[in-house]
Amino acid sequence: MAYDATDPRAALEAAPKAKVTAVQGPAADAQYGLFYKEPPQEDDANGKTWYSRGSNFVCAYSDLKPGATFERSNQPDEYCVYLNDPDTPMIVEANGQTEKTDGYALAVIPPGQSKLTFPKGGRVSRFFTTKSKDLAEKCANARFYDQMPFNVAPLEPWPEPVGGYKIRIYSLDVPAEPGRLGRIFRCTTFMWNVPYTQMGPRDRSKLSPHHHDDFEQCSLIMAGTYTHHLRWPWTVDHAQWKQDEHAVVEAPSITVIPPPVVHTSVGESPDKNQLIDIFSPPRVDFSMRPGWVLNADEYPMPELQN
């Protein structure tokens, strides 16, 4: 890991492993869902929706028309709805509960039956695990995962939330705090790291090249342009060596960075740059930092190996 001293991640320590084991092998290719240039998988009365995936998750990014609705029946596990923008109202109905938000929020939706309604439409990102097989099959890169990549630990849901499954909506209107990394939330299936918007290009003297041993990083870009700098480690087999990638990616998009690829992302736009990182299952190292996970009191951590 290489972090500038002012980066809160410089304080991270090696975390104990969760009770899962990844299959070791060559690092997979990065995956790109370029929603600003690729055709949507759905274009209907709801609006346009693009589907792209990683090993354990599915991203459904939508540019919705007013009145759009989505329903799930027999949903196997929790999923998340990310509303990046204010004035993107959403009504959530699930298992007899109804909740509303005006936008600029992250919602966790319980298993079972649910309905989402968007009176004004807007930009909406829904994240599911690949247990939602119907959605995984819609992904533009579905066939890439016919043979699962090495090195990614299989999805093991974290313990059930305190008070049981229910709709939980978290406002993103959270003041910054020295020593805390962005705004981090977790549930049984996902962790979200929502940094504060970066204005102007990133300082290239304070980059953060690092890697993950056994989990993917999904970087969702909602504003600006980023260069993802990616370096694949060498193995003993020269045939497995890959050239570095310096992928220039715009909003809206996702990039799935496989382990143990060394990576750092650089915001390039002269005005607003916004990138959100999503992990499935949640990260142990972030969870072990006191005060970092804003809803930690609602979602217990799993038993860990020493």
Q: Where does residue 143 fall: left (phi above 0), alpha (psi -120 to 50 degrees), or beta otherwise?
A: alpha
Is residue 263 a contact partner of residue 219, using CB atoms and an 8 Å limit? no
* pLDDT tens per residue, range 228-257: 999 999 988 899 899 999 999 999 999 999
| Cis peptide bond prior to 8, omega within 30° of 0 | no
Given this model, what pLDDT does residue 21 score? 53
d(CA 14, CA 123): 36
Long-range contacts of 49-53, Cβ-Cβ distance < 8 Å, separation of 24 or more: 50/140, 51/135, 51/138, 51/139, 51/140, 52/139, 52/140, 52/141, 52/254, 52/256, 53/130, 53/136, 53/139, 53/141, 53/142, 53/145, 53/256
* pLDDT tens per residue, range 126-150: 999 999 999 999 999 999 999 887 7
Q: Which amino acid is at 61?
A: Y
Is residue 287 a contact partner of residue 297, using CB atoms and an 8 Å limit? no
- Tell me how far CA of residue 14 lies from CA of 157, 186, 286, 289, in angstroms: 21, 19, 10, 11
Is residue 124 a contact partner of residue 62, using CB atoms and an 8 Å limit? yes
Q: Where are the domains of the chain?
A: 8-287
Residue 274 has pLDDT above 80, yes or no: yes
Mean per-residue pLDDT of the chain: 93
* pTM > 0.95: yes or no: no
Q: Which fold has domain 8-287?
A: Jelly Rolls (2.60.120)
Distance, C-alpha 109 to centroid of its chain:
15
Residue 271 has pLDDT above 80, yes or no: yes
The mean pLDDT of 265-275, rounded to a whole number, is: 97
Using DSSP, state whether 284 is helix, strand or coil.
Answer: helix
Is residue 84 a contact partner of residue 125, using CB atoms and an 8 Å limit? yes
Q: Which of 295, 272, 287 is nearest to 174 (CA)?
A: 295
Range of lowest pLDDT (10-14, 168-172, 196-200)? 10-14
* pLDDT tens per residue, range 54-89: 999 999 999 999 999 999 999 999 999 999 999 999
